Amino acid sequence: MVFAMSGFRGSKLRAIELGKTGKLTDGKGVVWTADEGTPYVPSPLLYDGRLYFFQGNSDILTCLDAKTGQAHYARERVDGLRGVYASPVGAGGNIYLVGREGTCVVIKSGDRLETVATNTLDEAFDASPVVVGNALFLRGHKHLYCISAAE
């Protein structure tokens, strides 16, 4: 499936079956739709069969089943975040969410919103985090951070 979404001037999300041609409508190529809480700047994350995305540029998070579009949770506030431009990133069974004011909230990949950790750096962040091996790279406005797990 292809997930096409926009949070500009309204919310739209379409899950489109690959290989379809012609006019795509519900039941004819469009597998499911959702029209609330889609992102403006941050991209969605497809991880472990779930689609995670923010509402606009806010700290409001939705998690849908990627195959059916059914909500595991919808439009829930992530405590500790304020303003989000960075896209969520998944690794090691967790989802990393970075706010513009320097807070990184780690949640479990799962059917309910469960916070694992909250960490704050003294810098502003707009760029999406990047995972390389056991390391998480965060690019702030002034510095590049590398947070790595001991092996």
- Per-residue pLDDT, 38: 97
Q: Which domain holds residue 72?
A: 2-148
| Cβ-based neighbour number of residue 142 at 10 Å | 8
| pLDDT for res 25 | 77
What pLDDT is stored for residue 34 in this prediction?
Answer: 95
| Sheet with 60-65, side-by-side order of all strands | 45-47, 50-54, 60-65, 71-77
With a cut of 70, list the residues of the chain below it in pLDDT. 150-151
Torsion of CA 66, 109, 105, 149, to 10 degrees: -130
Q: How many domains does the chain have?
A: 1
Q: Are strands 29-34 and 25-26 parallel, antiparallel or unpaired?
A: parallel
Tell me: the pLDDT tens digits for 86-121? 999 999 999 999 999 999 999 999 999 999 999 999
The edge-to-edge listing of strands for the beta sheet with 103-108 is: 89-91, 94-98, 103-108, 115-120
CATH of the domain at 20: 2.40.128.630
pLDDT given at position 150: 67
| pTM for the model | 0.93
Contacting residues for 4 by C-beta, under 8 A, at least 6 apart: 12, 13, 14, 16
